[in-house]
Amino acid sequence: MSTNWFAAITVGSQNAILKIIDMRKQTVLEYIKAEVSIGTDIFNRGKIGLETVEETSVALEGFVSRMKEYDITESRAVAVSAIKEASNAEYVREQIRLQTGLELEWLSNSEERFLHSQAAANGTPNFNELIKEGTMLIDIGTGSIQLTVYDEGNFMFSRNIKLGPLRVRELLAELKERTSNFADLLEDFIFSKIRDYAQFAPKDVSYKHFILIGTDLLFFKRAFWEKAEDKITEAYFEALYAHILETPEKVLAKKYELSFDSISQLLPSAMLLKELLKVTKAEEILLSDAELVDGILVAEMIRRKSLTLTHDFTQDIVTSARNIALRYMTDQKHAEAVEKFAIHLFDQLKPIHGLSKRERLLLQIAAILQDIGSYIDMNNHYAHSEYIILATEILGLSTEELEMVGAIARYHSTETPSLNLHHFEKLPTESRLTTAKLTAILRLADSLDDSHQQKVTKISISLKKEQVLISVWADDDLMLEKWTFAEKSGFFEEVYGIKPHLKEKGGQK
């Protein structure tokens, strides 16, 4: 046994994977992949069949047995977001727990794609150089695809589309038997989805590169990367695409030594790439070997501080929130002021809240997004802010974290969890106190720019046993800010047991 050994397990729509690595040496000790039929069940019947549950449990029992042989003490087991679509997903998870002892963690789509992107960046040479030019990460899952755009080294945009090749195959299976030209039907279906995406994608990006990632891309590796090169040109892709289009599936399966299940997903995936190339005019396609299981391991290495990525993916989360705020036309200067005050308060009040950098990030995102509901209606805008946040994907956040951000944004206004306990209690029990602590901080931060005029230019926090003294410097009258601070400070005192006081240090009194 070694404390440096760590095991990661992923359960996907088509396979389950175990990977054991030595964290210190960053070497792979064991890699096992087992095929499962979860995706076919879900996309056909909406639930996972008993035979598939048994098949998956047997595979996972084998993984657990192997981990015991290595005497693994630290591990993480996750299931991809598509599996949660099954009507019996929770029952299946419990059955797996009882049979194998594994506590499967549900990943949200945004978590899954975030982990996959980190793994791709870690495994792609010169990733930072590539994204200085227009680059699209195309994460092909069996049920959906994630399109993430970078340019000039910065995150620009990310969108999920339910166009995964297995989902498309199962959706159109009946129509395939009723048409003599399935390729045209498939092209129309995919084009309609890509056209919708193109309406919202950044318009000023000059694309150069596609980075193709996905756990189930064996068919792509066999068909398009025969020469074991890590990239192909757009012209080479077009030539191979034409070959695939005119060749019967049985012939392709034999040529590339692929099962019918794999080869039937080749055309939808290739057609998707073709449509994206048409829309973006990208010049080359790179194939990443990174799998979701690698993303789990990269995240663990980052947590242990044994790995530092050259690209800051946490900043991508913040940028994503800023882009959402721009989309809903928020008052940017006000948002920046509140964000600055909230972060400063969080950092200075650490002795009384005891929260981590992750909670700091959630507070920052809530500060950026708190007023997006005004786009719908300025009256009760906080309620609109919450449901917009809950309906929006923020890459890298779990479902629970998104709910927390929504609640913090909702309660930044005069309404508090104390006045609306029924709504607040929808949050998981362990998240409520953290959400309340962050809400109390955001309410104070928001009050310091209640006029939306950025009168307060500087703040200083003094933490004493019985009070929090917030000194502010301003060159204008702060009557409105003082009144709002007094209104909102009661909840802070309720949560922390310490009364906050506002003291003016400059400007008018």
Q: Domains (ranges, CATH) in the chain?
A: 5-107 (3.30.420.40), 125-289 (3.30.420.150), 313-506 (1.10.3210.10)
CA 449/CA 480 separation, integer angstroms: 9
Q: What is the pLDDT of residues 482-498, one digit of tens each?
A: 999 999 999 999 999 99
Coil, strand or helix: which one is 354? coil
Report the share of the chain in percent with pLDDT over 70.
95
**pLDDT beyond 60 at 116:** yes
| pLDDT for 451 | 93
Integer-rounded Cα radius of gyration of the chain: 25
> What is the arithmetic mean of pLDDT over 445-474?
93
| pLDDT for 509 | 44
Q: What is the pLDDT of residues 33-46, one digit of tens each?
A: 999 999 999 988 99
Whose CA is closest to 311, among 136, 116, 112, 131?
A: 131
> What is the arithmetic mean of pLDDT over 102-112?
95
| pLDDT tier, 396 (very low <50, low <70, confident <90, very high otherwise) | very high
CA 332/CA 338 separation, integer angstroms: 10
Mean pLDDT taken over the chain: 90
| pLDDT for 203 | 85
**Phi-psi label, residue 18: left if phi above 0, alpha if psi -120 to 50, beta otherwise:** beta
**pLDDT beyond 80 at 218:** no
| pLDDT tier, 469 (very low <50, low <70, confident <90, very high otherwise) | very high
Q: Who has greater pLDDT, 276 or 425?
A: 276
**pLDDT beyond 60 at 507:** no
Q: Who has greater pLDDT, 418 or 450?
A: 450
Q: What is the pLDDT of residues 146-186, one digit of tens each?
A: 999 999 999 999 999 999 888 888 888 878 888 878 888 88
CA 122/CA 127 separation, integer angstroms: 8
Which range has the worst mean pLDDT, 209-213, 256-260, 264-268, 299-303? 256-260
What backbone phi and psi angles, to 5 degrees, belong to 21?
Answer: -130, 160
Q: What is the pLDDT of residues 122-138, one digit of tens each?
A: 999 899 999 999 999 99
